[in-house]
Amino acid sequence: MNVLEQARAVGDAVLYEGYLLYPYRASAPKNRVRWQWGVLVPPSYASAEIGEHASAGVECLVEPLERTILHVKLRFLRAQPRHETWDEGVEHELDFELPLSELPAEKPFHVHELTGVLTARVDPLDGPFGGARLRVEVHNTTSWPSDGVREHALRHSLLAAHLVLSVDTGHFLSLLDPPEWAKPAVEACRQERLWPVLIGDTSRSTVVLASPIILYDNPSIAAESPGELYDGTEIDEILTLRTMALTDDEKREARATDPRAAAIVDRVDAMPPELLERLHGAVRSVRPVEPSVVVAGVRVASGSKVRLHPNLRGADAQDMFLTGKTATVRVVLSDVDGATHVAVTLDDEPGADLQHAHGRYRYFSPDEIEPLEVPE
């Protein structure tokens, strides 16, 4: 998968995050308030007081060459009535080719009843190191006499709007981990409802995804995921099992709600056991190493007792509930980049020995554990 394909795959996940939620029926209360990410409403409905906006903008740093061309993909959904109680999302993707030497520029666009404009500008950075700050904005300019009803405004809005930025020469710099000279310029960048992350690398790349959901650099889709479930805050395994447990009448209603809901139910109904097993979890590219690691001057190995202190940055949200719990180290692993991972089972969790027998562990880095005793 090349970097643009990776950007599209992650962008698709952003595009449909929260599109419809379990139990995938239009009648479900949680599916009656929709479209929470990247919504650009018409100006007549926009209001900072209610948190609805007609525009979004992103700034990032680029090190261009003399004739660098910026390629912009604007991707969004448009709400289209499917039946009386449900609007389905129709995908749209617009392409813009903007030589940096010709910026600033404004590019109007028209999609069915939607109108808008994409703007871009580039400003050289101060100092001896070169580079430039790129700003791209998207504006919904649709003329619509607002009736104050959000569901009606959404039919004139860009939904889950995001951008894929790429350059044919030169590269973008990470805003999360920039080089030292670029840090003042990064601090001066301003993001408005879009957040730029590199695709394909974590320091510099020719592709940036500007997402309405904050991500880390170089995000990717888990290989174990067999298809979209539209709820990234849930666990695939749990959602799949819940969907399997729906009654026949509930499944019929879900199938009638939206073609994407029907695809979920059909896929779950036909899922073989070995594919369901893959959803339970995975640790990528790790191998057993020396059976110990030194933490705070103490050698930790299989059988060691530790206290857990999960890091906020990069941690699974569920790990936050494990802070302060004690665990038993089962194995020390190292990934292909040489990073160490400590596999543990919780001391107060029923079935810990059974999990150990099946190789089901929770994984933490050495700086997330506190040794409680020295192994024998």
- Asked if residue 192 and residue 329 are part of one domain, the reply reads no
Q: 68 and 156 share a domain?
A: yes
SS3 string, the chain, reads CCHHHHHHHHHHHHHHCCCCCCCCCCCCHHHCCCCCCCCECCCCCCEHHHCEECEEEEEEEEECCCCCEEEEEEEEEEEEEEECCEEEEEEEEEEEEEEHHHCCEEEEEEECCEEEEEEEEEEECCCCCCCEEEEEEEEECCCCCCCCCHHHHHCCCEEEEEEEEEECCCEEECCCCCCHHHHHHHHHCCCEECEEEECCCCCEECEEEEECCCCCCCCCCCCCCCCCCCCCCCCHHHHHHHHHCCCHHHHHHHHHHCHHHHHHHHHHHCCCHHHHHHCCCCCCCEEECCCEEEECCEEEECCCEEEECCCCCCCCHHHHHHCCCEEEEEEEEEECCCCEEEEEEECCCCCHHHHHHCCCCEEECHHHEEECCCCC
| Domain end point (choices 195, 211, 227) | 211
User: Is residue 325 a part of any domain in this protein?
Assistant: yes
Choosing from 180, 211, 242, the residue where a domain stops is 211
> Is pLDDT of 94 > 50?
yes
**Assigned domain for 243 exists:** no
Q: Is residue 245 one of the residues assigned to a domain? A: no
- Tell me what the pLDDT averaged over the chain comes to: 87
Q: What percent of the chain has pLDDT over 70?
A: 88
Q: pLDDT-derived band of residue 79, with 50, 70 and 90 as boundaries? A: very high
Asked if residue 322 belongs to a domain, the reply is: yes
Please tell me whether residues 121 and 204 are part of one structural domain. yes
* Any domain includes 13: no
Same domain, 159 and 300: no
Listed range (159-163, 193-197, 344-348) with the worst mean pLDDT: 344-348
Of 320 and 89, the structure prediction assigns the larger pLDDT to 89
pLDDT greater than 70 at residue 376: no
Number of compact structural domains in the chain: 2
Q: 262 lies in a domain?
A: no
Q: Which of 47-61, 92-106, 198-212, 229-243 has the lowest mean pLDDT?
A: 229-243
Higher pLDDT: 71 or 84? It is 71
Give the CATH number of the domain where residue 301 resides. 2.30.30.140
Residues 202 and 318 placed together within one structural domain of the fold: no
Asked whether residue 45 falls in the same domain as residue 147, the answer is yes
Residue-wise pLDDT for 245-284, tens only, equals 889 999 999 999 999 999 999 988 887 776 766 665 555 5
Are residues 90 and 183 both part of a single domain? yes
User: Does residue 1 carry a pLDDT above 90?
Assistant: no
Residue 62 lies in a domain: yes
User: At 211, is the pLDDT very low, low, confident or very high (cuts 50, 70, 90)?
Assistant: very high
pTM of the model: 0.73
Tell whether 291 and 203 lie within a shared domain.
no
Indicate whether 107 belongs to any domain. Answer: yes
pLDDT beyond 80 at 236 = no
pLDDT score recorded for residue 22:
82
Choose the final residue of a domain: 177, 195, 211. Answer: 211
Q: Residue 229: its pLDDT value, please? A: 77
Q: Which structural domain range is residue 344 located in?
A: 286-371
pLDDT (tens digit per residue) in 285-343: 555 445 788 888 888 988 899 999 988 665 555 677 788 999 999 988 876 566 788 88
